[in-house]
Amino acid sequence: MNFFELFRKEVTIDIFDYQLLAQYLPLKKKRDKVSLLVNEGKIVRLKKGLYIFGENWRKGPINLEIIANLLYGPSCVSFEYALNHYGLIAERTEIITSLTMGDSKRFNTPFGQFEYQATSKDKFQIGIEYRDLGKEGGYFIASREKALCDLVYRTSGIRTPEQLKHFLFEEMRVDESQFQQFDFQRIGEIAKIYKKHSVTMLSKL
């Protein structure tokens, strides 16, 4: 059994960093070994220092939400991608969208484009939920209410209830039956933190 086979056998997760991989690499020319593993398709580089096993070596399907959390953080999946994840909008987004306390960033990876919108600590923390996937780990995602608040907060030009309704149900095509099941008290709590007129209107819609 070579070092890579041992690494795959002992590591239970599919996404890993260089520090973990380095523990199994031969002592000499570690960076060259990593490049070789990438070229052979045994591992895929997500960004410098972060990798996922290649297609033939993965133990499970790719989880884009976990990748989004690990690529840049602290972050949580939100905006259009989260709304589609919940089935609130039908349009699939090609970009995996997240909220972060860091700077706004964009990453292009072999598995898609990941975007991060910066916000303050208090706005980031409210309304986050954790999805535990067991051995795979887990990821942070905005609640349905927070994801919609984030989208409305980010969108400029919404000044009246009519404009808000047009944006939600005409432009974004939010599922109205699901929208009616939202926890509007929770949206009100988020609106108090966000302090933006359009989000306050959303809580009263």
Q: Find out whether 67 and 15 touch, Cβ atoms under 8 Å.
A: yes
Point out the domain boundary residue: 13, 31, 57: 57
Would you place residue 111 in the very low, low, confident or very high pLDDT band (cuts 50, 70, 90)? Answer: very high
Phi, psi (5° rounding) for residue 182? -60, 155
52 and 75 within one domain: no
11 and 101 within one domain: no
pLDDT at residue 92 greater than cutoff 90: no
Q: Find out whether 77 and 96 touch, Cβ atoms under 8 Å.
A: yes
Tokens of residue 55, six digits = 């297609």
Average pLDDT, the chain: 95
pLDDT tens-digit map of 9-38: 999 899 999 999 999 998 888 889 999 999
102 and 12 within one domain: no
Per-residue CA distances from 50 to 18, 44, 53, 73, 158 (Å):
6, 9, 10, 13, 39
pLDDT at residue 103 greater than cutoff 90: yes
175 and 107 within one domain: yes
pLDDT at residue 93 greater than cutoff 90: no
Host domain of residue 112:
64-204
Alpha-carbon gap, residue 135 to 146, rounded angstroms = 27
Q: How many Cβ atoms sit within 10 Å of the Cβ of residue 117?
A: 16
Q: How many Cβ atoms sit within 10 Å of the Cβ of residue 147?
A: 27
88 and 8 within one domain: no
**Residue 100 β-bridge partners:** 75, 118
Would you place residue 116 in the very low, low, confident or very high pLDDT band (cuts 50, 70, 90)? Answer: very high
Helices (H), 102-194: 121-125, 144-154, 161-165, 176-179, 184-194
Q: Determine which of 26-40, 41-55, 70-84 has the lowest per-residue pLDDT on average.
A: 26-40
Residue range 134-156: mean pLDDT, rounded: 95
Is pTM beyond 0.85? Reply is yes
Alpha carbons within 13 angstroms on the beta-carbon side of residue 107 total 22
Would you place residue 149 in the very low, low, confident or very high pLDDT band (cuts 50, 70, 90)? Answer: very high
132 and 80 within one domain: yes
Q: What integer pLDDT is reported at residue 188 of this predicted model?
A: 97
Say what percent of the chain tops pLDDT 90: 89
pLDDT tens-digit map of 123-134: 999 999 999 998
81 and 40 within one domain: no
